[in-house]
Structure 1
C-alpha cells in the first residue's frame, strides 16, 4: 500500500507535470512568431535566404553553428532529409550563424512591438515576464538536449523582447528535445509520430506530410506499421492501445520538462503564466499561425497552473 510519503511525491510530480504543460501552451504561440511574423520573413529575405524554408532552418538552427544538414535533420526529427538539405548548408553561404542570431533578435523585437504594441513591450510587466522566462531557461537541464543546450548557451539579450523570446525558445527546445527522446524510446519514427499525432486529432495529417515533405508512400507505410502494432484500426483511427501510447508520450514529455518550473517554484511559474496569457492570446487571434496546428496546441484555452 502506498505510504503518505509516496502519495505526496506522486502529487508533487503531477503538479510539476501540469505546470510544464500549462506553460508550454502559453509560450509556444509566442515562440512561433519566429516562423510566421512578417517582420521575421522580411529579415530572413534581407539576409539572403531563398524562401520560407531556408529562413526557417537557418533561424532555428543558427545556435548550433554551421552544422551539416544531417545534424539538423536529426535534431528537428520530423522533416524529410531532402527538405533540410534544400536549405542547409546553402543558407550559411548567405549569412553566417552569428549574423542570423543577431538578425532574429532584431526581427522578434520588431514583430513583438508591432503585434503587442510599444506600451506593452516597454512595460514593467513585460520585462518581468522576460526575466522570469530567462531564469527558468537558465536552470533547464540540457544533458542530452542539443537544441536546448545550444540556445541556453547564448548571451542574455539586453532588450526585453529578445530576452523573453530567447528564454521561451530555450524552454521550447528543451521540451522538444525531450519529446524526441520519448518518441525514440517508444519506437516511433518521424513519420509514425506524425501519423499518430494526426490520428489523435491534434494536427492535420496532410499539412504535416506536405510541409515536412514526406511522400504519400512514406505516410501510408507508417500507417501500415502502426496498424500492425495495434495502434491504429483499419480506418486509420486510434485504437485504445494507440490512445494509450499517445497519452504516454505526452505524459513522459511533460515529466521531462519539469525542472525549469520546479526550480522556479509554483508562485513565480504561476506569475509567468499569467503574464504570458494575454501575449499568447494575441498571437493566436492575430491570424499569423497557419491552419493545421502542427504543434498540436489547444487553441484559445489554457490549462490552469496548479
Structure 2
C-alpha cells in the first residue's frame, strides 16, 4: 500500500479538484468579484487560503510560473476583493459547477456524503510541515454541504501533494523551467502550452533544455535519455511516497472505497472535456485516456 495508492488516488481526485480552474462558474464568480481576466482569477482563487500575500510568496509556492505572470495579478487582485471573499466565491462556484456536472440527485446522495467524510478524514491526516499550500487549505473551515466538503478536502490533498512534488524537484536540482521541460519530454504535457501558460519565453525554455542535456537527461532531439527517464521516474516515485501518509492513515479499505466513489466523479469531469488535452497537470493515465471521446 502507500505509494501506488497515492498515485491511484491522485488520478481520481485531481479531475474533481480541477473543476475550479476550468468551469465557467469559476470565471463568473471571479468576474463578479471584479477580478480581471483568467490569470488574476486563477491566482486570487488559488492563493486565497494564504491570505493577502504578495506576488513573490505565490511565485515561490506555485513554483513553475514566471514571476511576471504572478506579479500582473497580485497584489492587484486584493484591490478588488479580499481573500475571505475569494474563498467564499470559489465555494459558491464549486456548488454551482458540481450541481451542473453531477446533477442534484448525485450531489444530495449518500454516496457523496460518504466520499466527503472519507476525503475529509484523509485531508486531516495530511502532514503539512513545510507544505504551505497544503497547510493553508487544511486550516480552512469544514463546509457543511457534502459536495463542497468533498471538493475542499480533495483540494487540500492536491495542494499537499503539490507541495511535496516541489520539494522533490528542488532536491533534484530541477528549477521551474527545467522541471517543465522534463515533464514535456516525458510526454505528460504539451511543451508550448506549459511554456506559454507559465509565461516563460523561448530563450528560457531552450536554456533549460540545454541544462538538461548537459546533465545527460535530454537527448539532442529533445527526448529523454535513459538517465532522464530514470530521473523522471524517481521524481514521480518520490512524489507518490511524499503523498502517501493520508492514505496510510485512512487505511486500505477506506481508501479503496473512496477511490470507487471518486472514479465516476472524475470520469464525468474528464468526459465533459472540462480538462483540456495536454493539460499542465499531466493527467495522462488510464482514467484520463478511457474517458476521452473516440476519434473514430
TM-score normalised by the chain length of structure 1: 0.93
Give the distance between the partners of 1:55 and 1:299, measured in 2 at CA: 28
Give the equivalent residue in structure 2 for 1:196.
Answer: 182
Give the equivalent residue in structure 2 for 1:71.
Answer: 57
- Give how far 1:247 is off: 0.3
Give the equivalent residue in structure 2 for 1:60.
Answer: 46
Kept in 2: contact 1:146–1:177 (CA 8 A): yes
Give the equivalent residue in structure 1 for 2:134.
Answer: 148
CA RMSD of the aligned region, Å? 1.1
How many residues of Structure 1 are paired with residues of Structure 2 in the alignment?
289
- Give how far 1:300 is off: 4.8
Q: SS where residue 157 of structure 2 aligns?
A: helix
Cα deviations by residue, 1:248-272 (Å, 9 ceiling, x for unpaired): 0000000000110000000000000
Kept in 1: contact 2:270–2:288 (CA 8 A): no
Give the equivalent residue in structure 1 for 2:106.
Answer: 120
Matched, 1:292 2:278: yes
- Which one of 265, 271, 282 corresponds to residue 257 of structure 2? 271
Cα deviations by residue, 1:77-125 (Å, 9 ceiling, x for unpaired): 0000000000000001111000101111111010000000000000000
Give the distance between the partners of 2:82 and 2:187, measured in 1 at CA: 39
- The 1:302/1:19 distance shift into structure 2, 3 A limit, reads farther
Give the equivalent residue in structure 1 for 2:292.
Answer: none
Q: SS where residue 290 of structure 1 aligns?
A: coil
Give the equivalent residue in structure 1 for 2:196.
Answer: 210
Give the distance between the partners of 1:292 and 1:38, measured in 2 at CA: 20
- Give how far 1:46 is off: 0.4
- Give how far 1:76 is off: 0.2
Alignment of 1:229-244 (within 5 A): 229-244=215-230
Q: SS where residue 301 of structure 1 aligns?
A: helix
Give the distance between the partners of 1:37 and 1:100, measured in 2 at CA: 16
Deviating above 3 A after TM superposition, structure 1's stretches of 4 or more consecutive aligned residues are: none
- Which one of 20, 32, 36 corresponds to residue 50 of structure 1? 36
Give the equivalent residue in structure 2 for 1:134.
Answer: 120
Give the equivalent residue in structure 2 for 1:20.
Answer: 6
Give the distance between the partners of 2:286 and 2:31, measured in 1 at CA: 31
- Give how far 1:291 is off: 2.5
Give the equivalent residue in structure 2 for 1:250.
Answer: 236
Cα deviations by residue, 1:145-202 (Å, 9 ceiling, x for unpaired): 0000000000100011210110000000000000000000000000000000000001
Give the distance between the partners of 1:247 and 1:23, measured in 2 at CA: 18
